Structure 1
Amino acid sequence: MRRVLAELLDLVVPPVCAGCGAETVTLCGDCLGALAVPVRMTSPRYGVLPVVGAGEYSGVLRSCLLAYKEHDRRDLVGVLGLLLARAVLAVLEHPPGAGRGATGPAGAAVLVPVPATRRAVRRRGADHVAVLGAAAAAVLRAEGLDVRCRSLLEVGAHRDQVGFGSRARRRNVRGTHRVAGPGRRAREVIGRTPVIVLDDICTTGATTAESVRALAASRIPAHGVAVVGIAPGGPRNGPGDGI
């Protein structure tokens, strides 16, 4: 009912620009332009795989992700899904985990979102990373790539990561992710296709590292990590030029 009322309200009062609040559009031209930056790669504190992001989690990108996650701005799914697709494409073209066992066809991938807690799904009305993963996969399939999004992981109870320091983030998620159902069934779904773990934001890498660990425990190697935004201040392998 809340979602229906929100959609009816949008017909009367169009949403303001998620970046600057100045226009009755999803994103104004200036804010769209601010998102058109090279993808970048970072080596987070936790995890063995580099993380590729569509941009830095600041400015317009930060405003968009917060509006989508915390203020139910579903009209941003298309833009954020496109940004995530750019990060996925960079992983496919230059896989950080190359040589880790996949022999699938070129341009093929299975996108595995980090799992959301049931509490987070209830509060936000959906698994927000899985929704973006599905949107990114649709963008890449439209370009002729064999990319699917599969929610293979589930999560036990842990608190939201917001406000935690790096060590607390790691302790908070350690051992909480697992493959949903028998690992053998998940391996049959994936076959030999490369797996890319997805998240919306990379801060310390603790959450994606836990998802990579859980997949590896079921003998499913991850070949890369793609996110929408990379938090500023962490180690970085250049500005992303050339990837």
Structure 2
Amino acid sequence: MTSHPPTRSVVGAAIADALALLLPVMCAGCGAPDADICEECRPALAPRVGTRWVDAAGGAVPVCSGLRFEGVAARIVRAVKEEGRTPLVRALAPALRAAVAVFAEPGAVLVPLPTSRASFRRRGYRVPDLLARRAGLPVRHLLQTVRRTADQRGLGRDQRRANVAKSMISRDAASLRVILIDDVVTTGVTLAEAVRALREAGAGVIGAATVAATPRRMSAGASGSVASETHR
């Protein structure tokens, strides 16, 4: 389980929601007044699931993402993560649901990537957990960070990999079939570290679902189910 009670994340998100009501309302996608997301920007959030593969210990895993992390979608995700505009999560939830649905794996356990202590202190809520809650997706907290990592922003791929290496552990995951969930996948190294931790704990990792992915290496038009993992 995570080291902080889930209720703290709920309270943090509620406070952020309340503060958002006191601030001037502008579209997070384009800056237009009087709407969190204007009618012109909403179509950019319609799920268009794409898939990429992320290399991980024991074999690559598929990552399905509901949106491309660019333009309006990227600005809205950043508004949630960097500006505390948590009401916007409701508009992102369909993208996460669509990404999870691609796997079509009954009985799979959804596991959010853990949030660093520094990020939790800064925001007061965990973005993956908030997204899952708004999407109506039950989760189990099977991953825990065991050491401090640096902010990944500004780091190259190799630096990111070294930064998160051996930073997670998993317990109570033996024999479970797992789908990881997160907000955005960029290089995929954090997801790969989570896969390593879960596999070492005996879980079978089916893949990962995210709200968005950077366009690089993302193929469009995923449909149906993704083949389950053969490595255990």
CA distance 1:10–1:162, change in 2 (3 Å): closer
| Residue pair 1:111, 1:133 contacting (<8 A) in 2 also | no
Map Cα deviations across residues 31-79 of structure 1 (whole Å, 9 max, x no partner). Answer: 1111224210112465610211011110011001100000000111211
- Residue 79 of structure 2 is matched in structure 1 by 67
Distance in structure 1 (CA, Å) of the matches to 2:68 and 2:78: 14
Alignment correspondent of 1:141: none
Q: Does 1:84 find its partner at 2:75?
A: no
1:127-206 equivalences under 5 Å are 127-136=126-135, 138=136, 148-155=138-145, 156-179=147-170, 183=171, 185-187=172-174, 192=176, 194-206=177-189
Residue 143 of structure 1 corresponds to: none
Q: Match for residue 101 of structure 1?
A: none
| Alpha-carbon shift at residue 226 of structure 1 (Å) | 0.6
Gapped runs of 5+ residues in structure 1?
93-105, 139-146
For 1:214, the equivalent position in structure 2 comes to: 197
Name the % identity: 35
* CA distance in 1: counterparts of 2:159 and 2:65, whole angstroms: 23
Aligned partner letter, 1:240 = G
Partner-residue secondary structure (3-state), 2:161: helix
Q: Any idea what SS the aligned residue of 2:103 has?
A: helix
How far apart in 2 are the matches of 1:127 and 1:2? 9
Q: Return closer, same or farther for 1:12/1:166 CA change in 2, 3 Å cut-off.
A: closer
Match of residue 210, structure 2, among 227, 232, 241: 227
* SS of the residue 1:240 aligns to: coil
1 CA distance for matches of 2:148 and 2:47? 36
Deviations 1:189-212 (A, max 9, x none): xx65x3110111111110011101
Q: Of the candidates 217, 223, 229, which is equivalent to residue 242 of structure 1? A: 223
| 2:42 match | 32
Distance 2:85 2:178 in 1: 28
Q: Deviations over 1:173-201 (max 9, x none)?
A: 1110112xxx3x344xxx65x31101111
Q: Could you give the per-residue CA deviations for residues 2-55 of structure 1, whole angstroms, max 9, x where no partner exists?
A: 978765554454521111110322211121111224210112465610211011
Distance 1:79 1:9 in 2: 18
TM-score after normalising by structure 1? 0.78
2:204 maps to a residue whose letter is: P
Structure 1's 30 and 63: CA in aligned 2 closer, same or farther, altered over 3 A? same
Structure 1 residue runs of 4+, over 6 Å off? 1-5
Q: In the alignment, what sits opposite 2:227?
A: none
CA distance in 2, matches of 1:211, 1:150: 14
CA 1:172–1:11: 2 relative to 1, 3 Å: closer
User: Aligned equivalents of 2:173 and 2:222: distance in 1?
Assistant: 35
Instruction: Tell me which protein shows more helix as a share of its residues.
Output: 1
Structure 2 unaligned runs (5+)?
Answer: 1-10, 225-232
Q: Which amino acid aligns with 2:37?
A: L
